[in-house]
């Protein structure tokens, strides 16, 4: 970008300050290295101006790149690799700049959302209230009395409303538990369930099958009641279901003790929903750590490893950290929020490494074409730049109109753009282009899924 402050005769020298090449005092630039011929000290204004011009490159090339990139799919990529590079911005720099703007915008929206008054008062959710609700009821009663004296205090009124909702959630959870225990009693004492478990002539396999049906029925009841009563997010619902499952299991075992029933409940029916998920996805060792941390929340990795009788290795310490984060993820909304922000922040880096891999598949699909790998890469980065530009526009659209319709429009517009870009850049028949368009989308979605899992795992363990 041309400087607007350094081209005056009294600031020019006869030797390049960068490479010491002799130059004329009439030359604006060094013919050897291209540095501006200027001997004056750099100013703050100059420094800031050149920083932003180098970062954004908002000169005529920006608009000559931006407009055709959006409205003439494939044209910028084709002309750039054919040699018209002075006319357009570097595709790699443009991609990085646009992706940075998008992720900064996401971060800005996240910060704004944190300061909504509704979010401020949601700290009184069920999971964050003491199980001893007597103190809470007293606090709310006092708060309501204060409100009666001053109706104009809208913030306090909102606090009271949210607090009442929180207590209703506690009450709702207790009602579910009471109904759950009543249902268990009804099954146990109004059917032949307990008699069959006592009967020694019935095999263990038949008893396990009978208990399995009872377990499935109980889990269905818990899930139905929680989903229809709780106003929490999905992970808090899982935590509530998990807690109720534990309560049901403890209640059943107490009944068995009182009725002197010597029946051993299979392990798969004593695990709550969270433990089942962890055991299935991550194995028994991490599941044992999660259960241990629940019972000993202040314990260290060394304590857990020692108490569980495991070897003191780095891997076991690593498993303990994963288990600790799993418990926090399910139980702590603030931890989930920070985790998702971490995933978003790492996505931009992951995409930068994902696109060259995707380009390999693109080059294989067009292996008979004249373009080499780098030229395919130029096309991919330009298309991904449009992806972020459209995403920025429709994200703002969703925020302004408070709708998710922009997401649907974004997907349709981008898919149309991608098909047109492939057709104009590679100049193949529309049918071949469409088939390859479908294949490329399948490959991209597969790579994105793999990348998302890796990024999510890395963000979770760091």
Q: Domain locations in the chain?
A: 1-44, 57-124+332-462
Reply yes or no on whether the pLDDT at 275 is more than 80. Answer: no
Average pLDDT value for residue range 380-388: 94
**pLDDT tens by residue, 431-441:** 999 999 999 99
For residues 46-69, give the mean pLDDT: 67
Q: Which of 112-116, 129-133, 304-308, 393-397 has the lowest mean pLDDT?
A: 129-133
Strands (E) located in 103-145: none
Q: Give 235-255 pLDDT, tens digit per residue.
A: 666 667 777 887 888 888 888
| Per-residue pLDDT tens over the stretch 176-201 | 788 888 888 888 888 888 888 888 88
Query: Residue 157 and residue 153: Cα distance in Å, rounded?
Result: 6
Give the separation between CA 26 and CA 373, rounded to whole angstroms.
43
Nearest Cα neighbor of 241 from 193, 275, 196 is: 275
Whether this model's pTM surpasses 0.95: no
Tokens of 190: 């109004």
**Count of alpha carbons within 13 angstroms of residue 42, beta-carbon side:** 10
Mean pLDDT, rounded, of the chain: 77
The tokens describing 103, both together, are 């992720």
Of 2-6, 43-47, 336-340, 355-359, the one with minimum mean pLDDT is 2-6
- Residues with Cβ within 8 Å of 43's Cβ and at least 6 positions away in sequence, in order, are 5
Q: How far is CA 451 from CA 140, 358, 386, in A?
A: 47, 12, 20
Judged by DSSP in three states, 36 sits in strand
Residues 365 and 359: their CA atoms lie apart, in Å, by 10
pLDDT tens digits, 120-165: 444 444 444 334 444 444 444 444 455 444 444 444 444 444 444 4
Judged by average pLDDT, the poorest of 37-41, 195-199, 238-242, 271-275 is 271-275
- Please tell me the predicted confidence (pLDDT) of residue 416: 96
Asked whether residue 6 carries a pLDDT value surpassing 50, the answer given is no
Query: Of 79-93, 222-236, 302-316, 400-414, which gets the smallest average pLDDT?
Result: 222-236
Instruction: Tell me: pLDDT of 99 over 90.
Output: no
């Amino acid at each position: 970008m041309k400087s607007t402050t350094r081209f005056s005769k009294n600031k020019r020298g006869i030797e390049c300050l960068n490479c010491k090449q002799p130059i004329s005092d009439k030359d604006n630039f060094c013919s050897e290295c291209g540095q501006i011929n200027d001997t004056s000290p750099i100013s703050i204004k100059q420094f800031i101006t050149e920083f932003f011009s180098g970062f954004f490159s908002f000169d005529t090339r920006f608009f000559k790149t931006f407009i055709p990139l959006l409205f003439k799919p494939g044209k910028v990529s084709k002309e750039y690799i054919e040699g018209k590079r002075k006319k357009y911005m570097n595709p790699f720099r443009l991609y990085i700049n646009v992706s940075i703007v998008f992720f900064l915008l996401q971060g800005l929206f996240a910060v704004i959302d944190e300061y909504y008054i509704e979010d401020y008062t949601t700290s009184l959710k069920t999971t964050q209230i003491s199980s001893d609700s007597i103190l809470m009821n007293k606090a709310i009663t006092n708060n309501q009395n204060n409100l009666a004296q001053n109706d104009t205090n809208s913030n306090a009124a909102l606090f009271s409303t949210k607090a009442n909702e929180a207590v209703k959630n506690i009450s709702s959870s207790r009602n579910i538990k009471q109904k759950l225990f009543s249902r268990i009693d009804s099954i146990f004492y109004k059917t032949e369930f307990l008699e069959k478990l006592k009967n020694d002539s019935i095999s263990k396999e038949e008893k396990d099958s009978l208990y399995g049906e009872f377990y499935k029925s109980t889990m269905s009841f818990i899930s139905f009641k929680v989903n229809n009563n709780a106003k929490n997010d999905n992970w808090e619902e899982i935590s509530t279901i998990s807690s109720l499952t534990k309560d049901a299991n403890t209640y059943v075992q107490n009944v068995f003790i009182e009725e002197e029933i010597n029946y051993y409940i299979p392990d798969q029916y004593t695990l709550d929903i969270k433990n089942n998920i962890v055991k299935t996805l991550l194995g028994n060792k991490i599941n044992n750590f999660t259960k241990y941390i629940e019972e000993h929340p202040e314990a260290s990795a060394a304590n857990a490893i020692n108490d569980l009788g495991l070897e003191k290795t780095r891997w076991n310490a690593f498993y303990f950290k994963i288990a600790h984060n799993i418990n926090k993820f399910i139980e702590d909304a603030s931890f989930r929020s920070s985790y998702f922000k971490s995933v978003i922040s790492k996505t931009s880096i992951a995409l930068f490494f994902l696109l060259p891999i995707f380009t390999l598949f693109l080059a294989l699909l067009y292996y008979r074409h004249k373009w080499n790998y780098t030229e395919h890469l130029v096309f991919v980065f330009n298309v991904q730049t449009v992806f972020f530009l459209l995403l920025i526009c429709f994200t703002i659209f969703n925020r302004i109109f408070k709708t998710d319709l922009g997401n649907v429009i974004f997907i349709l517009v981008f898919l149309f753009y991608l098909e047109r870009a492939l057709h104009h850049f590679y100049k193949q028949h529309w049918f071949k282009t469409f088939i390859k368009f479908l294949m490329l989308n399948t490959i991209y979605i597969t790579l994105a899924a793999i990348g998302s899992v890796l990024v999510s795992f890395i963000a979770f363990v760091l």
